Structure formats: structure tokens, C-alpha cells
Structure 1
């Protein structure tokens, strides 16, 4: 009987990942710089020959592609072990309001009119106040 072991991924510590990423980035940058310098030197030297310039360009393109692939691979490995990014900064506070003097709006209420005076007592009438006589 044959037992097949499944491959498993070992995650490195963030420190090791940072070092690896830095080294890969430095190597990619060095390769790109070297390819750029070679292209510039070739272009400066072989300005008269079009075929040489084309060949140099093709070589540069290949080197750049390889560098990009390496950088992409390094980035993929880094993404698995990188810590989460910090939260975005809070939005800036709104500008302060200009303080305008507030006009007080008073509703001027009129005082209710005073109640009418009570009517005067009626004058004595002869028919009502007549004393009963003999």
C-alpha cells in the first residue's frame, strides 16, 4: 500500500516575509536597471543600424517580462502572510460655521381687552317700588 501525502503550505513570519520581499524587490529593480542601462548603451552605440536596435528592444522586453513575473510571484507569496492594512484615517472635521447674530423673533401679543364694565343698576321705577298702602 502506498500513502500519498498532500502538500501543505508553511507560512513564514512577517519579518521573514518582509526580508524576502525586500530581496526580491531589490533583485527585480537591479535587473530592470541593468536592462535599461543595456538598452540605453545599445541605443547610443547602434543608432545607425535599425536591426540592432530592434534586437535590443526585443531583448529588453523579454527581460522586463521576466522581472515582472518574478515581482508578481513575490507579491503573491507576500499577500498570504502580510498583516492586514491599517484602517483608513477618519474624515476631516467639517469647517466651523460662521457665527451670525441671531435675531430674536418675538410675536408681540396684544393684551386682551378689559372686560366691559357692569351695567349700571336700573333707576327705581314707580311701578315696582310702590309701597303697599292701606
Structure 2
């Protein structure tokens, strides 16, 4: 299972983005971390560039016009550029715990499971 982690949007996140990226990179299944910088007024742009230079699995993107487009458009830009088998979203001011993908690894062994929507309170399975 190759996972693309999309951090969306990177906006006012300079204090958190490094921890978020490093929490995703702890997993060998994470094929890539996509940073979608959304014209943040802080120093997030420079931090994103540094993280992409430092880590081979980190990619940095901006909207073509380099303007702020919000979370929805930033998610879509990440999805368009994701190359993994599975997409996971991570807000720039959040981080993954070491057991983050344990359940998903087991569930995707079932060929009838096509996707999982994980909310705060439950899992929803998408079948073919």
C-alpha cells in the first residue's frame, strides 16, 4: 500500500508544518507528502521549500496563480498530483500518531474494500 499524504492547506502553519511532515514520514508506506502552500502570510512558504529540499518524499505545490484558494481547491490540487494508491489528508497544524495506518492496512487486505472514510467517531467502508 503506497500512501500519498496531502497537507491542506498550508496557511498560517509555520509553527506546525515541520512536525506534521515528520509525523507522516515516519511510515514506510507513505509514498509522498504533498505540501499545498496557499499563499500563507507567515513564513510557511520558505519552510515548505526547505522541507521539499530536505526530504525526497516531500513535494511542494502552489496554485498556478500563487494566490489563496482555500481548503477545497488545495485538496483538489493535491489529489491531482498524488501518485500513491491511497490518499490520506493531514492538516498542516496536525500530526499522525505511530499507529495511524494500522486499521487501514488490515482493511485493504479485503479486495471488496475500495476506500475508507475515517471520521472522528466511526469508519465508513466503500464497497464495489
Short-chain TM bin: under 0.3
Greater fraction of residues in strand? 2
Please identify the structure whose Cα radius of gyration is greater. Answer: 1
What TM-score, normalized by structure 2, do the two folds share?
Answer: 0.21
Higher helix share: 1
